[in-house]
Structure 1
Amino acid sequence: MDLLFIADPLESFKVKKDSTLAMMRVAQEAGHRLWFCQSRNVLWKENVVLADCQTLVIKPSSTSWFELGEIESRVLNSFSAVLMRTDPPFDIEYLNATWLLSAAVRQGAIVLNAPAAVRDHSEKLSITEFSELIPPTLVARELSAVEEFHRVQHDIVIKPLDGMGGMGVFRVGPDGLNLASIVETLGQNGARTLMIQRFLPEIAQGDKRVLLIGGEVVPFSLARIPQGNEIRGNLAAGGKGVAMPLSAVEKQVAERLAPILNQRGLFLVGLDLIGGYLTEINVTSPTCFVEITDQSGFDVPQFWLKALEKALS
């Protein structure tokens, strides 16, 4: 198979733990041909969607670990699959890229995750479809609504809808200290929508990342455990990643959502769960392949490749 990876610059990869690199390695080892480009290299020209892309060879070295070929223009529907692995934020250029990829899909390209499905599933707001699985949650712009939610829930977490890696996440305890200031700052005085949830003390045991691949559930999660006085378990915010088997509740939630999301074209999904509650559905560029594999012995990249080969057969 010819696989085109649309990703961030290769030089920016964290070689020891990058999930996209893990996918590339296992696909190359299975004899598939790799291609690479950035989203900026995807274009509409002469009524087709093209990519100015390069062949990619992964090398064993941890320093000079890749080799790129000459730039070629190829129509996206000439690849066995196009794998969109550009990291958030989901800004206007990310959105533009999904529209171009949707045009490629109409021309017969296979794009994973499906660009229309990515657009339809805000990583934070999409949990509202499964409201019985989520903690008490408010989505609002007005300070008065947040203040009323705080009066009822007493201990809350406030976060922007477009945040990533734990950026912009604040906890406001029962004393309500700085509530108005936080809402005004994060919400830009009502110009920006916020998500507010009841604080879950189970975060001390970790914010669990559960991977769904091809409609199947990876049986181990990565618990991102906050360190020190932090409330954020995100690895980017200093959380410690610990792989562990799924609990009965986590497995139940994951097995319920896996076939639904896969049917919509979301081949790879990262659920975030705290205390069994669903808090996010990550669809842009889910990670944690390497950490789960190294600590549990369950080969996530190989699991991903087998699911991909099955989906494309």
Structure 2
Amino acid sequence: MSLRVAVQMDPLETINIAGDSSFALMLAAQARGHSVMHYDVKSLAYESGRLTAWAAPAKVQKVEGDHFAREDYRQIDLVKDVDVVLMRQDPPFDLSYITATHLLERLEGQTLVVNDPASVRNAPEKVFVLDFAQYMPPTLIARRIEDVRAFHARHPGDLVMKPLHGNGGKAVIRIPADGSNLGALIELFDNAWVEPHMFQPFLEEISEGDKRIVLVDGEVAGAINRRPGAGEFRSNLAQGGYAEATTLTPREEEICAALGPALKARGLVFVGIDVIGGKWLTEINVTSPTGIVAIDRFNGTDTPALIWDAIERRQSALRN
């Protein structure tokens, strides 16, 4: 079954082919005989029930500096010309991102969108995870400094402060136990973001790593452990962390078993969850998850193949 695949993602020129999950998915799609088109989310247009984008057929190859060839961009109909849309542009999860999910939701029942846009909109990383609070560290989402000070009093020690809709470890800040910089940081965050912020006790276990576990259609596909680099407490690979092979703890297996049915039911085909210390669930990444290249490098697996198996099953069911 040959599929016409449109990939909504950042410019092909900017990707790092050594670790980019979207690039790996495009390579795997080609290997299966699927045709691939690239478009920018900013080119989406809706008129009289018709959703279009300016897309260019593309060929990708794993050659540094010569990793893609692209034809001219032209307007395509995301129903008539496309079987599958991969929604893979990077966050921020802002009004632009939310608007794109509303537009892509118009394709329901006609073109398969992965991950399901309505579910992506309703399951931002640091909010959807609250549905599984029994696996999380103590967590506060608030904006008033009085609420934060009360939370800190209940959980003395260092705190971690995060933007509620941030990504890639950006602007994640450690607040010392004395709270000396708390007021200034809340002022800074309040000026930068209109939404409340997330606060959690600093977990010493982060020195042992932050595990990224990938689930495909609700089933565990693999995992890597990410350790902080020198002089950092953030373990995100984008922030200088490094990856190592790992296995799942019984607690992590329990977390995945609890999440799996909910992810599958929501049409969240490709998801990456983050677990610290083998037991603390901190995020459920659904917008543009990463990590599959490193997972496959360490484990000898083929996660893009698992993702395309799941996509093909869903697309076949949609046709029938």
Q: What TM-score, normalized by structure 1, do the two folds share?
A: 0.94
Q: CA deviation at 1:51?
A: 1.8
Query: Within 5 Å, which residues of 2 pair with 1:72-111?
Result: 72-78=74-80, 79-105=82-108, 108-111=110-113
Q: Which amino acid aligns with 2:261?
A: P
Please name the residue that 2:274 is paired with.
272
Aligned to 2:185: 182
Instruction: Report what 1:54 is aligned to.
Output: 56
C-alpha distance in 1, partners of 2:192/2:18? 41
1:13 alignment counterpart: 15
Post-superposition Cα deviations, 1:179-212, rounded to whole Å, max 9, x if no partner, equal 2222222233995411101211111111111111
Task: Please report how far the alpha carbon of residue 224 of structure 1 lies from its aligned counterpart in structure 2 after TM superposition.
Answer: 1.6
Q: Partner of 2:286 in structure 1? A: 283
Number of residue equivalences: 311
AA in 2 matched with 1:236: A
Distance 1:9 1:54 in 2: 11
Instruction: Report if aligned partners of 1:83, 1:113 keep a CA contact under 8 Å in 2.
Output: yes
Q: Give the aligned partner of residue 210 of structure 2.
A: 207
Code of the aligned partner of 1:229: G
> Residue 184 of structure 1 aligns to which amino acid in structure 2?
E
Give the equivalent residue in structure 1 for 2:46: 44
Report the AA paired with residue 142 of structure 1. R
Structure 1 counterpart of 2:229, one-letter code:
Q
1:230 to 2:227 alignment: no
Report the TM-score, using the length of structure 2 for normalisation.
Answer: 0.92
Deviations 1:220-247 (A, max 9, x none): 3122211223111111111111231222
Gapped regions of structure 2 (runs ≥ 5) = none
Which residue is equivalent to 2:265? 263
CA contact (8 A) 2:124 2:287 kept: no
Measure the CA separation in 2 of the matches of 1:221 and 1:61.
26
How large is the RMSD of aligned CA atoms in angstroms? 1.7
SS, match of residue 131 in structure 1:
helix
Looking at structure 2, the residues matched to 60 and 230 of structure 1 have their Cα atoms a distance apart, in angstroms, of: 31
Q: Which residue of 2 aligns with 1:294?
A: 297
Which residue identity does 1:310 align to in structure 2? R
Q: Which amino acid aligns with 1:33?
A: S
Which residue is equivalent to 1:194?
197
Bigger mean CA deviation after superposition, 68-77 or 205-214: 68-77
1:216 aligns with 2:237: no
Work out whether residues 269 and 307 of structure 2, in 8 Å CA contact, stay in contact via their aligned partners in 1: no
**Cα deviation code 1:236-280 (max 9, x no counterpart):** 111111231222211211122022112112111111111211111
- Aligned-partner Cα distance in 1 for 2:64–2:193: 47
Q: Percent identity?
A: 37
Q: Aligned equivalents of 1:178 and 1:294: distance in 2? A: 41
Say which is worse superposed, 235-244 or 60-69, in terms of deviation.
Answer: 60-69
- Partner residue, 1:125: 127
Q: In 1, distance between residues paired with 2:193 and 2:23?
A: 40
Q: Do the aligned partners of residues 83 and 122 (structure 1) sit closer, same or farther apart at CA in structure 2, a change above 3 Å counting?
A: same
Distance 1:191 1:93, change over 3 A: closer
Contact map agreement 1:233 1:240 (CA 8 A) in 2: yes
Instruction: Name the SS of the counterpart of 1:104 in structure 2.
Output: coil
